[in-house]
């Protein structure tokens, strides 16, 4: 069974993007783990969300600034992960081609190049 909690921040006090970035953070995860208890089937309820303590800058502009930079970092991390996946697939395909003999390695040429260094 799944539930959804809709959080509507008071826009004059808290910027929604800042709140979203907070709930993606490790500290929010730790806080929610602590509040949800140690039962066999942990769950997060509205009462838990209401008890979460959040420290935030008073200035909405500063919250937007922090949120924007954290979103940019998240995007950069996503792109790096995508590149790692692509390179991993390329490596596997190259290894497969080498192991099956589709591509031949000229050992003499490599030995010569290594000895020149």
pLDDT at res. 62 = 95
Give the DSSP letter string of 60-106.
HHHHHHHHHHHHHHHHHHHHHHHHHHHHHHHHHHHHHHHHHTSS---
Give the single-character DSSP code of 43. Answer: -
For residue 93, being part of any structural domain is answered with yes
Enclosing domain of residue 21: 16-116
Cα(87)–Cα(93) distance, rounded to whole angstroms? Answer: 10
For residue 23, being part of any structural domain is answered with yes
What are the per-10-residue average pLDDT scores of the chain (117 residues)? 71 86 89 76 77 87 95 96 96 91 85 85
pLDDT at res. 86 = 96
For residue 65, being part of any structural domain is answered with yes
Q: Which two tokens stand for residue 40?
A: 């066999």
Number of structural domains the chain divides into: 1
pLDDT at res. 2 = 62
For residue 9, being part of any structural domain is answered with no
For residue 7, being part of any structural domain is answered with no
For residue 30, being part of any structural domain is answered with yes
């Amino acid at each position: 069974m799944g539930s959804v909690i809709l959080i509507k921040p008071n826009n004059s006090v808290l910027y929604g993007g800042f709140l979203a970035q907070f709930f993606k953070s490790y500290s929010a995860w730790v806080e929610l783990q602590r509040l949800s208890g140690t039962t066999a089937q942990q769950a997060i309820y509205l009462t838990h969300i209401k008890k979460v303590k959040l420290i935030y800058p008073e200035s909405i502009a500063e919250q937007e600034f922090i949120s924007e930079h954290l979103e940019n970092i998240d995007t950069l991390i996503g792109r790096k992960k995508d590149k790692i996946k692509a390179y991993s697939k390329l490596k596997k395909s190259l290894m497969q081609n080498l192991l099956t003999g589709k591509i031949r390695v000229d050992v003499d040429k490599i030995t010569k190049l290594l000895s020149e260094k």
